[in-house]
Structure 1
C-alpha cells in the first residue's frame, strides 16, 4: 500500500479505482504546509472538502491535521526525509473535516525524488476512525472493569456489587444501560434486581419467563445453564414485545452474560447499546469474563456473611435416582436405607463414600454389593452399633452427581424407592439457588422439609469449614474422619485412605496437615487466644 508510482502523478492516472473506497490518494509538494497536487475524488465524501478546494490550498493539507497531532506528523516527515528512505508510515493521526468532526487516519507515504532531491510525497490515507474508536472503547471498558475489581473485593453486600457493576457499565460511552437479574425457580422467570440507565417501563413491561428460544439474550442465558453469553439485535428478531421495546427505547444491540462462580449461578448481566455493532466478539469476551469475576465477588460476600451468621436452615430435598443406580439397587436388594455421611469425588473418577446401612447383617451387604455393577468395592469398617461402610463407586449415579452440588451436605439417604439429600443453608435466597442447581444436576428436585438449625453459641463450624478450607482439603478431611483415621484404634491408615481417594499417601498427609493448620489458625486468630 505504499508505492505511489514513479514520475509525475499529478493527473491521478490509475487512482480512480479508489474513488468509492475508504482509501484517499494524495500527492503533496515538498513545500511548506504540504500543498496538495492531486487528491482522489472520494476525499469529499470522507473529509468534506472538494478536490478543487484542496488543489487551491484552501485549506493547506497541514491545516487539516488536528492541532494536537500536527507537530508530531511534521517531525515524522522530517525524520524520514533522509537520503535513503523511500517510504514510511505515520502513527495514526487525526484529520478535522470541513464540518468540524474528527476522523482518525493511517498515512502510508512514498517519497518521490528528482536528481536526488525530494520533490513530492505520494500517500494513501486510510480512514480508521471506527477501528480506533473501538480500540479506545475496549481500553475504557477494561479500565472500568479493573477499577471495579477493587470495589468488588471491598463490597459489603450483594446489592452493592450489583449496583456498582450496573452504574459503572452504564457510564461508558458505548453502553446505554445495564441491569442484573436473578432466576426465580418458583415462577421459572428472570427477575430484574438492579439497573442503571434504563427506564423502569422497559423492565416492568417485558415477559421474562424462561425460554431458550426467546429473542431476549438475557432470557436465553437464564434459561440455558451452559450458555457463556448471548447476543441479539432487534432488527433481526421476530415481531414481538422484545423487538418493540428495544426499538422504542433506542437500543440496537444487546448482550447478556451469566454471573456465576464454581458452578453456581448468581444471575444474569444484561447490557444494551444504541449501536447495532455495539458488542463485537472481543467486547463480548471481556463481558463474559467479567461475569465470572462478579460471580466470584458475590460468592465471597456470601461466604463472609455465612461465617458470621447465627444458625441457619436445613433442607430435605428429594431428587431423582435411576432405578439401576448402584446405591438404589443395593438399598432395594437388602431392603434397607443407605445413609451416606460423606461423599468425596476421587482424583481420577468415581466417588468415595462413607455411610451406614442399619438393620442388615454386614455379610449380606457385602455379598449383595459385590453383584451390583457400579460398586467397585465395599468394606465394613465397624460393626459396633450401626455398621459403617466404605464404598468406592464408579462414574455416574446419584453419589457422583451430588459432588457437583457444592452445598454443605449433611447426609444422602437412598432407598429402593427414593433419594433424599439433607443440606444446610444460611439464607432464603440460598434455598432458591440450591434448588435451581439441584434441578440442573438431577433433572428434578423437590423441597420436602425445612427446619431451623440450632444456632451455634460461638463459631458457626460448617461456615468455618467452607471459609478456611479448600474444597480438596475439606473432602480429604471428611473422608479421613469417617474412615476412622483419627480414632484411638485407627481403622484405616493414611496410605489406605489415600489409595481409596486415588491420590498418593504424601499428598493425603499434606492435605490433612494443611486442613488442621488452617482450622486451628482460624479458631485461635478469631478468638484472639495466644
Structure 2
C-alpha cells in the first residue's frame, strides 16, 4: 500500500491499526497498490469497528472502493497542459484583410465532422458584418454553404459547411483546435490562434498547417494549463453520433430561445432523420445529466 507521494503506508498508519487503537471508524483512506500485472489501482477504504458489550473491538468491517478512474480525472484536471500557438499567413488572411476595418476577430466556436467527411464550423465574428463574413466564406474558402444564426450589436454567428481540408481539421487531427481564425494584433499583423496538446511540438503543428497554407509561420507559443474535465468525461461516455448531435445542437443555437436552428435543419445537416436526431439528443442529454448529478455528485459526496 502506498500514499499519493509514493511512500509506503507503515503498519502504524494502516487504517485497521488506527481503528484497533482508537476504537473509532476511519473513513476515506486513499492509497494505491501494485497489481501483479504491473498496473496501479487507487482505492478508498472505510474501516469501522464492531465492539463487544465490554467495549472491546471484536472485529473490523472494511469496505473498499476502486477510485482509479476518478483519480485519473483529478490528475487530468490539475496537470493537463495545452500549447497555445499564434500563426500568420498572408494567403489565409488576404480575403479577410480586404474587409477588415479596425479591430476584428473571427472565432471558431466548434467544428463538427460529418459522416461524408465534410465539416460544420460554428463561427462568431466581431468587428465584421454578417454579410461581409458570409461573402468572404462563400466566395473565397470553397464553402458548400453558409447559414446565418444570429446578428446584432457588433457580433454575428454563422454556420459554415465546408469540405476538407481545413485548418480546423488539421488541428483537430493533432488533438487540438483552432480558437480564432483571424484576430487583429496591432502593428504585428493578424494572427490565427490555436491550441494543441502540450506534447505536440510546434514544428509538427506548423508542418501540418503548411499542407493547407504553405506560407504559414509560427509567431508565438505558450505552454498553459487548460482543464477540460467535464468535457472529457462527457466525450468518453457518449457515442460518437450522440456527441456529434449534442455539439451540433448546442452551437447551432437549438437550445436558445428563440431557437436559431430547428431539429429538421440539424437532422438534414447530419444526414439523419428527425426521429434519429431526437433520439441521439435525448440519450446524450440523459447521459450528461447522469454524469453531472449521479456519477459526479456521488464522487463529490
Q: In structure 1, the residue corresponding to 2:40 is in which secondary structure?
A: coil
CA 1:316–1:381 in structure 2 vs 1: closer, same or farther (change >3 Å)? same
Aligned residues: 223
Bigger relative CO (Cα 8 Å, ≥ 6 apart): 2
Aligned to 2:97: 332
Aligned partners of 1:321 and 1:397 also within 8 Å: no
Aligned residue for 1:406, secondary structure, equals coil
Matching of residue 479 in structure 1 with residue 252 in structure 2: no
> How far does residue 438 in structure 1 lie from its aligned partner after superposition?
3.1
**SS of match in other structure, 1:355:** strand
**1:421 counterpart = 2:201:** no
What does residue 513 of structure 1 align with? 282
CA distance in 1 between counterparts of 2:247 and 2:82 reads 19
Structure 1 gap ranges (5+): 1-149, 158-300, 424-429
**Contact 2:245/2:280, CA 8 A, preserved across alignment:** yes
Q: Is the 8 A contact 1:307 1:464 kept in 2?
A: no
Q: Which has the larger radius of gyration?
A: 1
Of Structure 1 and Structure 2, the greater strand share is in 2
Counterparts of 1:356 and 1:511 in 2: how far apart (Å)?
26
**Residue of structure 1 aligned with 2:209, choices 423, 427, 442:** 442
**TM-score (normalizing by structure 1):** 0.36
Deviations along 1:4-25, one digit per CA (max 9) or x if unpaired, are: xxxxxxxxxxxxxxxxxxxxxx
Given that residues 303 and 467 in structure 1 are in contact (C-alpha distance below 8 angstroms), is that contact kept between their aligned partners in structure 2?
no
CA gap 1:332/1:304 in 2 versus in 1, 3 angstroms: farther
Preserved CA contact (<8 Å) 1:380 1:390: yes
- Paired position in structure 2 for 1:341: 109
Structure 2, unaligned stretches of length 5 or more? 1-34, 42-67, 184-188, 211-215
Per-residue CA shift, 1:261-294, capped at 9, x if unaligned?
A: xxxxxxxxxxxxxxxxxxxxxxxxxxxxxxxxxx
Aligned partner of 1:375 in structure 2 is 143
Q: Is the 8 A contact 1:356 1:388 kept in 2?
A: yes
Q: What CA distance in whole angstroms lies between the structure 1 residues aligned with 2:150 and 2:111?
A: 18
CA contact (8 A) 2:168 2:178 kept: no
Check whether the contact 1:319–1:442 (CA below 8 A) recurs between aligned residues: no
| Correspondence 1:432 to 2:199 | yes
- Equivalents in 1 of 2:281, 2:95: separation in Å? 32
Per-residue deviation, 1:516:
1.6
- Please provide the CA RMSD for this pair: 3.7
